[in-house]
Amino acid sequence: MRRVMMRFAGREVEFVDRDVALRQLDELAEGGTWWPLVVYGPEGCGKTALLRQAFELLSEREYDVVYVNPLEEEARRLVVTEGLRDIVKRTWREVLGKAVHPAAPALVELAMAVVSRALRRGRGRIALLADEVFQAVGVDRAELLVKAMLNVIEHPPQSYDKAVVVVASSEGVTRARIGRHRWSEIRVMWNMPRDGLQKLHDLLPGEKPSFEEAWRWTGGNPEALERLYRARWHVDVVVDNIIENKEVTAAFVRRWRAHLPRSLEDPDYLWEEPDAEGLAKDLVEKNLVIPLKGRRPDAWIDVPPPERDPELGIGKYYAWQTPIHREAVKRALRQ
Ligand SMILES: Nc1ncnc2c1ncn2[C@@H]1O[C@H](COP(=O)(O)OP(=O)(O)O)[C@@H](O)[C@H]1O
Ligand SMILES: [Mg+2]
């Protein structure tokens, strides 16, 4: 399979690693998905990269593919394989009228309409890759969107060969809501394994800290590596950014002061301590911490993290998204 080119740290790089995930996607392509597959993972772990590679994989397997990501730059928000271009044109007119720059929810609606229209045509194989669509439709409508996706593959207007629906999200709030229905299969994708991160680290030009140091800060998260690179390896700058963006405010720290130190030491404290339930919820909502799902390989996309890695902030049930995220909370607590 052709490996697609990615933009990483200001240069073009080939999609690296993630062999297990690609094998899993290949199996999906073989059999189709019975339910929409919803993939959660830390911000910047490589979900969009994987979906872009999946686009290539599926089109090589003769799928018509629709990729939608309302958060992307305009040219990349809706991408379809050749055979769907006409349908997009027609559907666009019907769903959006003359709108040239559709708002995010309309774009998702359009993508869904294209899929269901392609199915009506009775054509063989169709895939929908929906990237960060939950924010677009509104968190409270995420469940309904997943249900709508299920309806499309469960009750297609025509008989068709196979359908694959994959949704990627780094948005923690929706996970529990979607998880309570049986409308989808939820899996978690973790940061890159060492080999993968090493390849990206090797590609970075100029003076840089050793791979070991990069690993200790990023825990394998390629976006964290990219940010460190852009900040010329001033960890402080990246950490302060997280404090700001995630609003790790003095009020937040004060509210949870009793439970933060233990959670920083071992994220599983959030699982074990009843009084820390609210903190767990807040940390998930702020996308600082992510709940994990055992370590059965079929609950994951690609390889799961180790069962425990205190140095990286990985517990059995919860993990800090990256060590830098943990550092941000640690620093906010000190201030
Ligand atoms: N397998 C990969 N090979 C090469 N670059 C990658 C890979 N995974 C992620 N990246 C790069 O790392 C950065 C973050 O990845 P991205 O897919 O945007 O993460 P997410 O969608 O999970 O937030 C991007 O610059 C992306 O190009
Ligand atoms: Mg993304």
pLDDT tens column, 226-282: 999 999 999 999 999 999 999 999 999 999 999 999 999 999 999 999 999 999 999
Please tell me the predicted confidence (pLDDT) of residue 100: 82
304 ligand 1 Cβ < 6 A: no
Same-domain pairing of 84 and 104: yes
**Mean pLDDT, rounded, for 183-191:** 96
Q: Which ligand is closest to the CA of 188, given by its number?
A: 1
**Whether pLDDT at 148 is above 90:** yes
Query: CA–CA separation, 34 vs 38, rounded Å?
Result: 12
Residue 235 neighbours by CB distance under 10 Å: 16
Q: What CA–CA distances, in Å, run from 153 to 2, 160, 165?
A: 28, 10, 8
Pocket probe mutation, ligand 1, options 1, 4, 8, max atoms within 8 Å of Cβ: 8
**Whether pLDDT at 33 is above 90:** no
Same-domain pairing of 173 and 117: yes
Same-domain pairing of 290 and 168: no
Domain that holds residue 165: 17-189
**Whether pLDDT at 123 is above 70:** no
Same-domain pairing of 169 and 310: no
Same-domain pairing of 254 and 143: no
Domain boundary among 168, 189, 210: 189
The amino acid occupying position 261 is: P
**Mean pLDDT, rounded, for 9-19:** 96
Same-domain pairing of 32 and 165: yes
49 ligand 1 Cβ < 6 A: yes
Sheet holding 125-131, edge to edge: 78-80, 64-68, 125-131, 162-169, 37-40, 185-189, 300-301
**Whether pLDDT at 323 is above 90:** yes
274 secondary structure, DSSP code: G
Pocket probe mutation, ligand 1, options 4, 5, 6, max atoms within 8 Å of Cβ: 6
Same-domain pairing of 178 and 29: yes
**Whether pLDDT at 294 is above 80:** yes
Pocket probe mutation, ligand 1, options 12, 25, 48, 301, max atoms within 8 Å of Cβ: 48
**In a domain? residue 156:** yes
Residue having the nearest C-alpha atom to atom 16 of ligand 1: 46
188 ligand 1 Cβ < 6 A: no
Same-domain pairing of 211 and 154: no
Q: Which atom of ligand 1 lies nearest, measured to the CA of 6?
A: 27
Beta-carbon neighbours within 5 Å of ion ligand 2: 47-48
Same-domain pairing of 130 and 237: no
**Whether pLDDT at 106 is above 90:** yes
Q: Which atom of ligand 1 lies nearest, measured to the CA of 16?
A: 3
User: Strands 125-131 and 78-80: what pairing?
Assistant: unpaired
Residue 59 neighbours by CB distance under 10 Å: 18
Query: CA–CA separation, 268 vs 173, rounded Å?
Result: 19
- If one counts the domains in the chain, the total is 2
Query: CA–CA separation, 316 vs 326, rounded Å?
Result: 16
C-alpha 3 chain-centroid distance:
19
- Which residues make Cβ contacts (< 8 Å) with residue 191, sequence separation at least 6? 41, 42, 45, 46, 197, 218, 219, 220, 221, 222, 305, 322
Comparison of pLDDT for 121 and 302, the residue scoring more: 302
21 ligand 1 Cβ < 6 A: no
46 ligand 1 Cβ < 6 A: yes
Select from 242, 214, 253 the least CA-distant residue to 42: 242
User: Strands 78-80 and 5-8: what pairing?
Assistant: unpaired
Query: CA–CA separation, 308 vs 205, rounded Å?
Result: 32
Same-domain pairing of 32 and 179: yes
Please tell me the predicted confidence (pLDDT) of residue 97: 86
* CA 44 / ligand 1 centre spacing (Å): 6
- Which residues make Cβ contacts (< 8 Å) with residue 238, sequence separation at least 6? 224, 227, 228, 231, 324
Please tell me the predicted confidence (pLDDT) of residue 320: 98
Please tell me the predicted confidence (pLDDT) of residue 74: 86
**pLDDT grade for 130, boundaries at 50, 70 and 90:** very high
Is pTM, for the whole model, over 0.85?
Answer: yes
HSE toward the beta carbon, residue 76, CA cutoff 13 A: 13
**pLDDT grade for 157, boundaries at 50, 70 and 90:** confident
**Whether pLDDT at 10 is above 90:** yes
Q: Which atom of ligand 1 lies nearest, measured to the CA of 49?
A: 17
Q: Which ligand is closest to the CA of 202, given by its number?
A: 1
DSSP 201-237: HHH--SS---HHHHHHHHTT-HHHHHHHHHTTT-HHH
Same-domain pairing of 175 and 52: yes
**Whether pLDDT at 165 is above 80:** yes
**Mean pLDDT, rounded, for 205-223:** 97
269 ligand 1 Cβ < 6 A: no
Please tell me the predicted confidence (pLDDT) of residue 251: 97
Query: CA–CA separation, 210 vs 197, rounded Å?
Result: 12
**Whether pLDDT at 159 is above 80:** no
